[in-house]
Amino acid sequence: MSNRTAVDSEGSWFEPERISELRRHLPITYVDVVPVRADTDGSVAEVGMLLRASGDGQIVRAIVSGRVLIHESLREAIARHVEKDLGPMALPRVPVSPVPFTVAEYFPTPEVSPFHDPRQHAISLAYVVPIDGETAPQEDALELSWFGVDELLADSSPLDEMTGGRDLLVRRALAHVGAA
């Protein structure tokens, strides 16, 4: 974390009506986090995926994701969202550099890009984050499961349960770390 003791989040939380209005007018900055467990040699062995109810009532697989708040660094946003989704004992190894492995641009209109979010135009910086601690699903997550790389790359895989192009994001993450 930075030298600041707490994120100055004044003005960073909006009422639902206000955030809906902002989403109609501005791209919103997000972080997407692909949580991984690594072998002793540093190779990715497993990917953590959440099971959630989507906005339209479907049960889908998801990765850690969320908005970047005003006055919040990318590293702080990553740490906050990992804790929010995987628990306070997850012990993420937050990247030293704020450079993502890819940028995903989510559009509300399908077919504009491989990434789709019907609520908004969002720009998401995507990171692979090794997790060293104990994890448990938090908040609105129904389940947290760890899947082996071979299982994810099989013809029929948990990636098929993802929506909005997030399966492509996980595939890109695996390719980035040399696991695909």
Residue that has been written with the tokens 């984050």 in this structure? 129
Query: Please, what's the largest Cα pairwise distance for the chain?
Result: 48
Query: What is the spatial distance between Cα 112 and Cα 105, in angstroms, rounded to a whole number?
Result: 10
In a domain, 11, yes or no: no
User: By mean pLDDT, which of 1-10, 30-39, 86-95, 98-107 is the weakest?
Assistant: 1-10
Find out whether 128 and 100 touch, Cβ atoms under 8 Å: no
**What is the residue type of 26?**
L
pLDDT of residue 6: 52
Cα dihedral value 6, 10, 101, 54, nearest 10: 110
- Point out the least confidently predicted range of 8-12, 152-156, 166-170, 175-179: 8-12
Q: What is the pTM of this model?
A: 0.88
One DSSP character per residue, 125-175 reads EEEEEEB-S-----TTEEEEEEEEHHHHHSSS-GGGGB-TTHHHHHHHHHH
Residue 76 lies in a domain: yes
What integer pLDDT is reported at residue 4 of this predicted model? 47
Q: Are 30 and 66 in contact (CB under 8 A)?
A: yes
Domain membership of residue 15 (yes or no) is no
In a domain, 10, yes or no: no
Residue 9 resides in a domain: no
Rounded to whole angstroms, how far apart are CA atoms 36 and 177?
10
SS3 at position 22: helix
Q: Which domain holds residue 87?
A: 23-176
Question: Does residue 57 fall inside a structural domain?
Answer: yes
Task: Answer yes or no: is 32 within a domain.
Answer: yes
Token pair 């909005």 in the structure block, residue: 164
- For residue 136, the domain's CATH number is 3.90.79.10
Total domains present in the chain: 1
Q: Confirm whether 13 is domain-assigned.
A: no
Sequence-distant (6+) residues with CB within 8 A of 115 are 104, 105, 106, 107, 124, 164, 165, 166, 168, 169
